[in-house]
Amino acid sequence: MTVRSSQGPRRGGATKAAAILVTAAMGLMAISSPAVADGPAPRPPSASPGSAGPSVIFPGNDGKPHTVTTDARSMMVDGRRLNVFSGEFHYWRLPSPGDWRDVFQKMRASGFNAVSLYFFWGLHSTEPGRFDFTGIKDIDLLLTMAEQEGLYVIARPGPYVNAEISMGGLPAYLTKSGAGSLRSTDPAVLKESLDWIGAFDRIARKHQVADGGGSIVTYQAENELLNEGGDRPAFMKALVTKIKGDGITVPVFHNDYGANGAYVPGSGSAGGNVGLDYYAFDNYPLGFNCSAGRGQVPDMEPRVRALTATSPLFIAEGQGGAFTPWGASFNTDKCADFVDPAFTRQYGVNNLANGVTMFNYYMEYGGTNWGWTGSPSSGFTSYDYGAAVNEDRRLTPKATVQKELGYFQKDFAPISAMVPQAPVPVAVDGGAGTVKSYQRIATEDQAAASVSGNGARFLGFRQSDSNSTAELKYSFPLSLSPRKDVAAASYTTDDTDTAAKTRPTSTWPSKRTASTRPWSTPSRLW
């Protein structure tokens, strides 16, 4: 098959195979219907300005309590696995509540089932103990809109959020506290941090999936607390204790900067016993200098599995663009080219191949730094970020790739419960370079979800040099053996067809001569 990074999704008629069904994810645009709760018609959320009620019914707006849990493979709602596919949105960078819904609708239509929301303490509070949640700061309305538009919410109230905003979201009055660190157990600042969390939680706890009030499905405590030195673990524990004491019943996590191993629940370090429920991390493989060379796309599964064997792989911030610091030699359009559709495709497939079942693009919509809210060190008026939805709220070509990835995950449910298998051997038959292969196989419903009875599986391929633009031809054998014995011959044929072309849905023999541009190709096998 030939894979070209510049092409959009291809469409074609579906072919149902009696033996092996292989679907190229980048051609998959099948629409999966949203789950509808059993029983009486669900109670719609209370109406909000400009709304006629929910556009889709799901556990985030059906008015019923649901159990939210995680294990090593994915998040689950009432025991049903959920692949979380999210994008970041900052409401203060679009200070027009009537337009928040527009972004949410664009996200839902682009294949997302979740939105991640930072909450800006310094925007809501200009003096200790007083908080403003009205007008463009109405987060109750924000959360209601998200649930009405069928999006789960990843709530991220800090206290510190970074986000390239003034003081990382902390209020300016903290600088008068005299504390050596504004993120510490120093009584002068800890009380204010807990007061902010309490004010936020009074609204957030009414919007939880677990209680039937809304679509908050998980909650982040603090952000990128770089290490576990000094009183930082005690500070984190105080925050988590407050969060759970306020009635937050969905799972709580921390976003670990660069997957450095800080605050891993159950670890033997000081941060392993602060009350967090599971582990998450951020990942920006290309870097942030949009006029420099790009970094390599990494395989994160081995690294994360060395840290935790109990948490799902959750990239709480994955590269969706890059910011444009004051005085930089590049602008937002350069960052859109730097983090382009071809990278987005390869990065997305590579994450699926590494077992990432919870993912959030930072950013999905960047917006504008209004009223001196941007950090002078890393942002100016525009916060377009080169994101898939640009500052004018227009969809860019990158959004098309995201839609392909999102709809693939909706259509291919077994991917939420897969484990890695030995990669299939790949022979490069033409061109200069090497090809990496990935293989995953389902651990649940093997017989029901596959013709072989051994479980649905996922195959992914990409060039080892993720920045190469060479075209390669490669071939590989295909064996549908059981999960514990992948190398054994089973359901194997060898029917090389060098004339075969990629279709959105097609049957493949076990060996195929193919060519690839630098980006990835995923497949599903039933």
Does residue 253 contact residue 276 with C-beta atoms inside 8 Å? yes
User: Which one of the listed residues 88, 164, 317, 404 is annotated catalytic?
Assistant: 317
Active site residue 404: no
Instruction: Return the H-helix or E-strand segment holding 516.
Output: strand 514-516
Does residue 10 contact residue 500 with C-beta atoms inside 8 Å? no
Give phi and psi for 185, each to the nearest 5: -90, 5
Q: What is the DSSP string of 179-216?
A: -S-SSSS-HHHHHHHHHHHHHHHHHHGGGBTTTTS--E
User: Which one of the listed residues 88, 147, 224, 391 is annotated catalytic?
Assistant: 224
Give phi and psi for 219, each to the nearest 5: -140, 130
Angstrom distance (rounded) from CA 416 to CA 210: 21
DSSP letter at 164 equals T
* Three-class secondary structure assignment of 53-80: CCCCCCCCCCCCCCCEEECCCCEEECCE
Question: Residue 467, CB half-sphere, CA atoms under 13 Å: how many?
Answer: 10
**Best CA proximity match to 404, nearest among 24, 3, 29, 11:** 29
Angstrom distance (rounded) from CA 23 to CA 20: 10
Angstrom distance (rounded) from CA 301 to CA 331: 33
Active site residue 391: no
Query: Cβ–Cβ contacts within 10 Å for residue 345, how many?
Result: 27
Active site residues: 224, 317
